[in-house]
């Protein structure tokens, strides 16, 4: 099926077009520059930016794909989770298109979109498989029995998301927002073994009770204390070493628990998704550790890991292929939509 996908859950306005697993267009307009001076996304600014960017992004996507709106088989849109005021802009746009063109509307889960996007790079998904979802607002381990409707969460972060930890640590190091890409870059020139930062929820008792859960707020506090002590003593802060050591702590736990989950579930395929899945160390460490256990790793290209419309379009294509019922035109946005609800 030929599907138009619309994404507006945070600060990226995304319009993507796919034909099945083939990517035809993926236009992303980010309002990140407008949020930089606040050190994080300001919801009202994001909503206004979506309003301004949606129409031009749609027109560019149609031109790139060389597709006419009347040809599409369905409109896929993020219904949640995300910022309420941001979600409603995409949803209203999708509803207007669906109603005026008389096309089916599919209100879909953004997080499942992050997982589904890999279909564009690596084709049909072996199911069941495990998925490590690592984004700005979420961090969890999933069992995917069916990407269109049977997903269960094995565990998740009990405090900060991995991307949030990157953003907060970047801020305390005086680096730019968003912190993920900046720390990734700084870490390349640092020593990951310079500082032994804590690995959250990996003590013996945690491995029993919280085997598939994550925690990053203790790590963030630990980095903060280490940096403050240095500054108080009038010593230089070795930014690259701190970045590399912090990144190593995050990636060590993320990968160890993901591999453990695969063995626990008896699945041989592991998928990663979400903005942090673009991280170079996460990608290389996962490659090492999955290869050592005979697990097949699927990593979408870094450019598809952060928010975009194509991920929603390809999830829509799967849902249509499955013959699932379209959404009602009066569905609402759901800022807290659980990952187990794929289609609203
Ligand atoms: P969610 O998907 O949970 O609703 P979101 O949509 O805001 O949250 P994404 O767009 O998936 O999040 O990812 C953004 C996050 O990814 C940010 O926290 C950013 O710092 C992080 N990120 C992006 N690139 C990298 C990288 N190379 N290394 C580490 N983190 C990264
Ligand atoms: Mg973003
Ligand atoms: Fe996202």
Residue 153: both structure tokens together: 């969460």
d(CA 308, CA 16): 7
pLDDT at 249: 98
Mean pLDDT of the 71-95 span: 98
d(CA 115, CA 79): 16
Distance 88 CA to ligand 3 centre (A): 16
pLDDT digits (tens, 9 = 90+) for 274-324: 999 999 999 999 999 999 999 999 999 999 999 999 999 999 999 999 999
Q: Write down the pTM of the prediction.
A: 0.97
pLDDT at 242: 98
- Which residues lie closer than 8 Å to 45 by C-beta, 6 or more apart? 31, 34, 35
Which residues on neighbouring strands pair with residue 153, listed in sequence order? 142
ipTM for the whole predicted complex goes beyond 0.90: yes
d(CA 176, CA 182): 7
| Residue 16 clears pLDDT 90, i.e. is over it | yes
pLDDT at 40: 85
Q: What is the CA 294 to chain-centroid distance, rounded? A: 25
Q: Is 135 annotated as a binding residue?
A: yes
pLDDT digits (tens, 9 = 90+) for 173-229: 999 989 999 999 999 999 999 999 999 999 999 999 999 999 999 999 999 999 999
pLDDT at 186: 98
pLDDT at 39: 81
Distance 216 CA to ligand 2 centre (A): 20
Mutate-to-test residue for ligand 1 from 80, 161, 275, highest number of ligand atoms within 8 A of CB: 275
Instruction: Provide the 3-class DSSP secondary structure of residue 326.
Output: coil
| Residue 125 clears pLDDT 90, i.e. is over it | yes
| Residue 2 clears pLDDT 90, i.e. is over it | yes
Distance 228 CA to ligand 1 centre (A): 26
Confidence category of residue 246, pLDDT binned at 50, 70, 90: very high
pLDDT at 33: 93
Length of the chain: 344
pLDDT at 103: 98
The two beta strands, 105-109 and 74-80, are parallel
Distance 43 CA to ligand 3 centre (A): 15
Q: Which among 292, 297, 289 is positioned nearest to 267, based on CA atoms?
A: 297
Q: Which among 137, 130, 127, 136 is positioned nearest to 153, based on CA atoms?
A: 130
Cβ-in-10-Å burial (0-12, 13-18, 19+) of 235 comes to: exposed
Confidence category of residue 263, pLDDT binned at 50, 70, 90: very high
Strand order in the sheet with 129-134: 150-156, 139-146, 129-134, 269-273, 296-298
Can you give 154-167 as a three-state secondary structure string?
EEEECCCCHHHHHH
d(CA 272, CA 144): 12
Please name the residue whose Cα sits nearest to atom 29 of ligand 1.
Answer: 180
Please name the residue whose Cα sits nearest to atom 3 of ligand 1.
Answer: 137
CB-based pocket (< 6 A), ligand 1? 9-10, 81-82, 110, 114, 135-138, 163, 166-167, 178-181, 184, 274-276, 278-279, 306-307
Distance 307 CA to ligand 2 centre (A): 6
d(CA 305, CA 91): 22
Q: Is 206 annotated as a binding residue?
A: no
DSSP string, 224-285: HHHHHHHHHTT----HHHHHHHHHHHHHHHHHHHHHHHHHHHT--EEEEESGGGG-HHHHHH
Q: Is 307 annotated as a binding residue?
A: yes
Please provide residue 301's backbone torsions phi and psi, each rounded to the nearest 5 degrees: -55, 145
Q: Is 26 annotated as a binding residue?
A: no
């Amino acid at each position: 099926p030929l599907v138009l996908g619309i994404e507006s859950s945070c600060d990226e306005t995304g319009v993507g077009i796919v034909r099945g697993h083939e990517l035809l267009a993926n236009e992303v307009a980010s309002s990140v520059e407008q949020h930089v001076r606040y050190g994080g996304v300001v919801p009202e600014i994001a909503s206004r930016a979506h309003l301004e960017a949606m129409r031009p992004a749609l027109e560019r996507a149609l031109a790139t794909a060389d597709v006419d709106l009347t040809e599409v088989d369905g409109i896929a849109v993020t219904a949640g989770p995300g910022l309420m005021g941001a979600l409603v802009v995409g949803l209203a746009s999708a509803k207007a298109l669906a109603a005026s063109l008389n096309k089916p509307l599919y209100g879909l889960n953004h997080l499942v979109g992050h997982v589904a996007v890999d279909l564009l790079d690596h084709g049909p998904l072996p199911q069941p498989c495990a998925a490590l979802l690592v984004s700005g607002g979420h961090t969890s381990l999933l069992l995917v029995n069916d990407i269109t409707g049977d997903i269960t969460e094995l565990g998740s972060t009990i405090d900060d998301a991995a991307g949030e930890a990157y953003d907060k640590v970047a801020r305390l190091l005086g680096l730019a927002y968003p912190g993920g890409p900046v720390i990734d870059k700084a870490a390349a020139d640092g020593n990951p073994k310079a500082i032994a930062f804590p690995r959250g929820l990996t003590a013996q008792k945690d491995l029993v009770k919280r085997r598939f859960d994550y925690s990053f707020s203790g790590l963030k506090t630990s980095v903060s204390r280490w940096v403050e002590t240095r500054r108080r003593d009038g010593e230089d802060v070795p930014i690259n070493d701190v970045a590399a050591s912090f990144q190593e702590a995050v990636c060590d736990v993320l990968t160890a628990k993901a591999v453990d989950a695969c063995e626990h579930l008896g699945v041989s395929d592991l998928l990663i998704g979400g903005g942090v899945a673009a991280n170079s160390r996460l990608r290389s460490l996962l490659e090492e550790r999955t290869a050592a256990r005979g697990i097949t790793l699927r990593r979408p290209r870094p450019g598809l890991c952060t928010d975009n419309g194509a991920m929603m379009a390809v999830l829509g294509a799967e849902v249509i292929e499955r013959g699932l019922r379209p959404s009602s035109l009066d569905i609402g946005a759901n800022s807290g939509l659980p990952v187990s609800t794929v289609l609203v």
